[in-house]
Amino acid sequence: MQMVLEAGVTGDRIIFAHPCKPLSHLQYAQQHQINISTVDTEFELFKLKQHFPNSDDAKICGWPLGKKFGCEAQTDTAALILLARSLQLKIAGTSFHVGCECEDLEAFVRALSTARELYDVGKMLGYDMNFVDIGGGYHGGNNEFFKKIAKTISSSLDLYFGNEPIKCISEPGRYFVEAAFTLVCKITGKREMRNALGQLESIMYFINDGKYGSFIDTGRDFSNVMYFSENHLEQQKYKTTIWGPTCDSTDKIVDNLYLPRLHRGDLLAFPNMGAYTLCLASKFNGIPLPKVVYYQQQN
Residues labelled as active-site residues: 247
- How much of the chain is in helix, strand and coil states, percent to nearest 5? 30, 25, 45
Query: Beta strands 226-228 and 131-136: pairing type?
Result: unpaired
Measured distance CA(245)–CA(144) in Å, rounded: 35
Query: Beta strands 200-207 and 237-243: pairing type?
Result: parallel
Of 12, 54, 52, 56, residue with least CA distance to 32: 12
Compute the radius of gyration of the chain from its Cα atoms: 24
Distance of CA 159 to the CA centre of its chain: 27
Residues 6+ away with beta carbon under 8 Å from 59: 15, 17, 36, 37, 38, 39, 91, 92, 93, 94, 95, 131, 133
Measured distance CA(133)–CA(112) in Å, rounded: 10
